[in-house]
């Protein structure tokens, strides 16, 4: 089965990103590789082409193995049909460690390149740590300029077609853009509306990908308040859709791409069934009136020992 997911051109090189992707952050990380592999393979079968990974998720190797299976089974014809994202973990967010970290990611994926490589969080850690929860005393400020220079080198070498960031505020993006030769093509954020960030990124030509748009219930960073929203449930009921479909369709209508993660085969297919219908202006207005909350507080990285002592310092705004 081919993919009919719309794509959007991002960056200056003409690369395209599918507007709905499949997340692989299954917590606890690395606990169920067989289930993850089966789910990713089914996702490829039903049409997902964008797969989001990270060094810390322990899913890169699983994706690499699954690509081999998908090619053998004819679900895809070549690796080039896929859009693979991975992320630089904080302990490798040092100028001299970025390129080796990406080479390890490519080795795990059994691929010559990633389509998108992101700085996972706007801070660094002592090298060598890949544990969650992180040790607060190991957290360090990110050297934006030197780490981004190493990211640019990854793109110039052709090892990453696009580079970007994740969990950056408008202010942190401004800091990065002040010295960047190649601006970030993508900002990945736990999107629930985030009008200020969307307007800023649109002005700067940065595409936003929303992770955990359904709330990531059951993870340390997730909540259930999106899926429990009565307003969203009412709209879903009136349209004969699931609450998840309403959320993903709303994200899509904002010109933002969404990463959804479900290993339930029925829901995986439902989450792709959002392109043949639309939300009415009245429904969009109802959604815009839902009280705002930050989708992820980043409390993992906030303490008196951290570069960020409060949520306000991390996100540069009230949350």
DSSP helix/strand/coil, 282 = helix
Question: How high is the pLDDT of residue 221?
Answer: 47
Q: Which of 48, 57, 113, 211 is catalytic?
A: 57
Contacts of 184 (CB under 8 A, 6+ apart): 163, 164, 165, 173, 176, 177, 206
Instruction: Note if 57 is an active site residue.
Output: yes
- The percent of residues in the chain predicted with pLDDT above 70, rounded, is 91
Mean pLDDT of 65-70: 97
Question: How high is the pLDDT of residue 225?
Answer: 60
Mean pLDDT of 94-105: 98
> 120 among the known binding-site residues?
yes
CATH class of 7-315: alpha beta
Residue 118 predicted with pLDDT over 90: yes
On whether the pTM is more than 0.85, the answer is: yes
């Amino acid at each position: 089965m081919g993919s009919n997911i719309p794509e959007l051109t991002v960056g200056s090189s003409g690369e395209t990103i599918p507007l709905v992707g499949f997340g692989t952050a299954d917590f606890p990380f690395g606990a169920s590789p067989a289930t993850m592999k089966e789910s990713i393979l089914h996702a490829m079968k039903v049409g997902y082409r964008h797969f989001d990974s990270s060094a810390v998720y322990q899913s890169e190797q699983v994706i690499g193995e699954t690509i081999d299976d998908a090619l053998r089974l004819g679900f895809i014809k070549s690796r080039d049909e896929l859009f693979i994202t991975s992320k630089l973990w904080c302990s490798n967010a040092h100028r001299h460690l970025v390129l080796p970290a990406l080479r390890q990611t490519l080795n795990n994926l059994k691929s010559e390149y990633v389509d998108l490589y992101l700085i996972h969080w706007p801070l660094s850690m002592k090298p060598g740590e890949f544990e969650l929860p992180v040790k607060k005393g190991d957290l360090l400020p990110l050297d934006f300029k030197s780490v981004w220079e190493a990211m640019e080198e990854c793109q110039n070498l052709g090892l990453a077609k696009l580079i970007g960031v994740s969990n950056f505020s408008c202010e942190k993006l401004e800091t990065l853009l002040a010295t960047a030769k190649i601006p970030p093509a993508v900002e990945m954020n736990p999107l629930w509306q985030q009008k200020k960030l969307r307007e800023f990124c649109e002005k700067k030509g940065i595409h936003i990908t929303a992770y955990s748009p359904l709330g990531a219930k059951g993870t340390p960073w997730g909540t259930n308040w999106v899926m429990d929203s009565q307003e969203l449930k009412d709209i879903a009921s009136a349209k004969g859709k699931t609450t998840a479909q309403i959320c993903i369709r709303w994200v899509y209508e904002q010109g933002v791409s969404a990463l959804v993660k479900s290993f339930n085969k029925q829901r995986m297919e439902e989450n792709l069934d959002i392109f043949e219908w639309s939300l009415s202006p009245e429904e969009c207005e109802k959604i815009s009136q839902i009280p705002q909350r930050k989708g992820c507080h980043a409390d993992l990285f906030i303490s008196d020992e951290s570069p960020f002592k409060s949520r306000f310092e991390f996100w540069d705004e009230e949350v």
